Amino acid sequence: MNSLPLLDRITQVRAFNRLYTGLIGVLEEGLVGSDYSLGEARVLYELAQEGVTEVAELRRRLDLDAGYASRLLGRLESRGLLVRERHETDGRRQLVRLTEAGRAEQQVLEDRTVEQIGQLLSRLTDDDQHRLVTSMRTIRHLVGEREPAPALVLRPPRPGDFGWVVQRNGAIYAQEYGWDATYEALVARIIADYVDHHDPAREAGWIAELGGERVGCVFCVRGPDDKTAKLRLLLVEPHARGHGVGKRLVDECLAFARAHGYTAMELWTNSVLVAARHIYRRAGFELVDSQPHHSFGHDLVGETWRREL
């Protein structure tokens, strides 16, 4: 995998910083057209939105030294937006709170910020908005705060999801295993057949989302007879592995099959798909057949796995 030299990486980060500070107007005299600097606006936000009441905690959250924090608070206090006072039982602790005027000014800043970001997003398509928000979440995770583990949600496929299933299967298997476009064509045929002949009483599909982002899928379809279901197109995005996505998808598929009258489930995979085979084995599937074949540009060993329900 190609790697940028360190100086080039630094250049890219600086270019992003210049772009984004320009977009949100950080270098202007007042944030979002107001009379407040970025530092003053952040203080008002923390006091209003985060429930901070101690100066020491405010300094920690904003990474401010004592002198700069004191000057910021002093300017806002002189405008009647906040008050500072000593703790009732510990004179070493200084408390701070917004006045009614301060809360009103913070709400104006909040409304203007929402409008500004809304205008930025409105220039993008829904897909590009999704990509932007996902990338920003990644940046926050890598260089800033550590968020709680995102919620894993399974939902039925919606229009647009089927194309995503085809595209991500083609891209991921090409990247990780070197499979050619004939695999993507196979997935497209499977999806087209599912959509054209879908029987809700006997078939279902699920899209997995982590924090609102699509990260996986699986489908339960009719098998070779009325008593056997087939598990198809299990996929988990590389960055979402380790969150139990594959296990949840397989468990959901098994539960659906059991609840809808099937007595067994089968699936077809290939021996090179080690992680998927591990999930199947842990879910109670057993390898019942294997056959060599040449597909997707490679010599492979196809495997049939089965589990009684």
Average pLDDT over residues 102-125: 86
* Residue intervals in the chain for CATH 3.40.630.30: 152-308
For residue range 1-28, what is the model confidence (pLDDT) as tens digits? Answer: 456 788 888 888 888 888 877 776 655 5
| H or E segment and range at residue 302 | strand 298-308
Per-residue pLDDT, 149: 62
Residue pair 205/217 in contact (Cβ under 8 Å)? The answer is yes
For residue range 239-249, what is the model confidence (pLDDT) as tens digits? Answer: 888 889 999 99
102 versus 156: which is more confidently predicted?
156
* CATH (residue range 6-123): 1.10.10.10
Q: Locate tokens 């798909």: which residue?
A: 273
- Output the six-digit token pair for 94: 């200084």
> How many helices (H) does the chain have, and how many strands (E)?
10, 9
For residue range 22-73, what is the model confidence (pLDDT) as tens digits? Answer: 776 655 555 666 777 878 888 888 888 755 578 888 888 788 888 888 888 8
CA distances from 186 to 76, 191, 233, 247, 295 (A): 64, 9, 10, 24, 11
Classified as helix, coil or strand, 186 is helix
Task: Note the pTM of the prediction, 2 decimals.
Answer: 0.59
For residue range 201-251, what is the model confidence (pLDDT) as tens digits? Answer: 999 999 999 878 899 999 999 998 889 999 999 999 988 888 899 999 999
How many CA atoms lie within 13 Å of 309's alpha carbon, on the beta-carbon side? Answer: 19
CA distances from 78 to 36, 59, 71, 102, 261 (A): 13, 19, 11, 11, 73
* Residue intervals in the chain for CATH 1.10.10.10: 6-123
CA 252 to CA 219: how far, in whole Å?
A: 10
- pLDDT over 70 percentage in the chain: 92
CA 177 to CA 65: how far, in whole Å?
A: 52
Fold of 152-308: Aminopeptidase (3.40.630)
